[in-house]
C-alpha cells in the first residue's frame, strides 16, 4: 500500500491493483484533496511516479495550488505574484522542498482519452494514475452509459496490470426529506452512471462539506472491498487548498 497522507489520512488503503472512487458536490474540494493525496503519495513513497489527467484545469494552476498548500501562502497571493520579500523566501523554500516529488509527477496532455492516459503512464513508468473527472473523458461510444462502462473496463485493466487508479466522478442531486433537490443525502447511487462505477471501484468515498462554511468536512467511506469502511473528519483551509485531520487540527 502507498501512504497518501499523515495522521488519519494514513489509514486510507490505496496502492497497486486498487481503484479508489471519489465524488463530492460541486466546489467541495475534491480536486484539491486528490492533488494533495498525489503529492503526499509521491513525497512519502520515494520511487513512485504519477500521472494526472485533469480535464478541467490547466497544469500550471494545479502546480500553483500545490505551492499554496506547501508554502502556506494564500492562493490569491500566489496567483497575483506580488510577494513581499518574506513571502518570496517562502515560495523559494517551498519550490525547493517540493521539487524531488514533483519531478515524478506528469500531467496527461490532450486528448483526454484513456488510451492517451495509458500511453503517458507507460512512457513514464507511472504506477499511480488519476482521472479527474471520468464523466468528462472521451469514451469510444456515443451512448453515455456504454461509454462509461468502457472507461471503467479500462480503469480495471490498468489496476489489474499493477497500477493504483484514483477516479474522480461527478455526482447527482438526490431528494431531501422535503422532496427538494439536494446534495445532503449523497450515497453510492449518487454517482452518475453509478452501477459500473460502484462495481469497478475497490473503495468509494464521498467528500462531504459541513452545513456552514467553516464546518469540518467528512471523507465518507461508502464502500470497501477489502476491509471496513471508516469515515475521516477533515478541516479544509480553502485559502491554501489544504485538508488536515480534524483530530490533529483540534490539538493545535
pLDDT at 24: 85
pLDDT at 199: 85
On the question of a cis peptide bond just before residue 171, with omega within 30 degrees of 0, the verdict is: no
8 Å CB contact between 159 and 149: no
Longest Cα–Cα distance in the chain: 55
Class of domain 7-249: alpha beta
Convert the pLDDT of each residue in 47-86 to its tens digit.
999 999 999 999 999 999 999 999 999 999 999 998 999 9
Domain segments of the chain as ranges: 7-249
DSSP string, 41-62: HHHHSTT--EEEEESSS-HHHH
Instruction: Tell me phi and psi for residue 143, to 5 degrees.
Output: -80, 125
For residues 13 and 4, what is the distance between their CA atoms, to the nearest angstrom?
9
pLDDT at 246: 82
8 Å CB contact between 50 and 105: yes
For residues 113 and 140, what is the distance between their CA atoms, to the nearest angstrom?
9
pLDDT at 175: 54
pLDDT at 52: 98
CB atoms within 10 A of CB 147: 17
Q: Which residues in 10-156 belong to E strands, given as ranges? A: 19-24, 50-54, 105-107, 128-132
DSSP character at residue 82:
-
Q: Which residues of the chain have pLDDT under 50?
A: 140-141, 143, 180-182, 250-252
Task: Retrieve residue 189's grid coordinates.
Answer: 447511487
Amino acid at each position: 500500500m502507498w501512504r497518501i497522507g499523515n495522521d488519519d489520512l494514513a489509514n486510507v488503503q490505496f496502492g497497486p491493483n486498487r481503484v479508489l472512487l471519489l465524488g463530492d458536490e460541486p466546489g467541495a474540494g475534491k480536486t484539491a484533496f486528490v492533488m494533495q493525496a498525489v503529492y503526499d503519495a509521491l513525497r512519502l513513497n520515494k520511487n513512485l511516479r504519477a500521472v494526472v489527467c485533469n480535464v478541467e484545469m490547466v497544469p500550471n494552476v494545479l502546480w500553483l495550488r500545490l505551492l499554496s498548500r506547501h508554502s502556506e501562502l494564500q492562493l490569491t497571493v500566489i496567483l497575483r505574484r506580488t510577494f513581499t520579500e518574506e513571502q518570496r523566501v517562502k515560495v523559494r523554500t517551498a519550490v525547493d522542498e517540493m521539487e524531488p516529488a514533483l519531478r515524478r509527477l506528469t500531467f496527461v496532455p490532450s486528448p483526454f482519452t484513456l488510451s492517451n492516459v495509458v500511453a503517458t503512464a507507460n512512457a513514464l513508468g507511472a504506477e499511480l494514475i488519476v482521472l479527474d473527472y471520468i464523466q468528462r473523458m472521451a469514451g469510444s461510444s456515443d451512448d453515455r452509459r456504454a461509454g462509461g462502462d468502457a472507461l471503467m473496463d479500462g480503469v480495471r485493466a490498468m489496476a489489474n496490470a499493477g497500477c493504483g487508479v484514483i477516479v474522480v466522478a461527478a455526482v447527482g442531486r438526490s431528494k431531501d426529506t422535503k422532496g427538494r433537490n439536494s446534495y445532503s443525502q449523497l450515497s453510492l447511487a449518487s454517482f452518475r452512471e453509478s452501477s459500473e462505477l460502484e462495481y469497478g471501484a475497490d473503495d468509494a468515498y464521498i467528500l462531504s462539506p459541513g452545513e456552514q462554511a467553516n464546518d469540518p468536512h467528512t471523507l465518507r467511506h461508502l464502500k470497501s472491498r477489502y476491509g471496513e469502511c471508516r469515515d475521516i473528519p477533515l478541516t479544509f483551509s480553502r485559502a491554501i487548498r489544504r485538508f488536515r485531520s480534524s483530530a490533529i487540527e483540534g490539538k493545535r
